[in-house]
Amino acid sequence: MSSPTGEVYRIDWLPGTDVLHGTCHCGAEHTAEDPVAMWEWMLGHPTGHTPEGHTPQGHRS
């Protein structure tokens, strides 16, 4: 069993659509229709969605 990282990733389905809305632990948000693309975006730190002034835990700028 792995230990908790303290990072929370949330993906919500937008009812009536094929759209997923993701919120990363850093606060960035993204929408996609493909669940694989959504997870690749979420786990792609720091490329593509690091808010200004924020360095995700375990990553260097």
Map residue 38 onto helix, strand or coil.
helix
Tell me the percentage of the chain whose pLDDT exceeds 90. 28
Q: How many residues does the chain have?
A: 61
Tokens standing for residue 30 = 């993204």
- The pLDDT assigned to 32 comes to 93
Cα dihedral: 12, 17, 19, 25 (round 10): -20
- The pLDDT assigned to 47 comes to 65
Assessment of whether the complete model's pTM goes beyond 0.85? no
**Contact indicator for 42, 50 with CB cutoff of 8 Å:** no
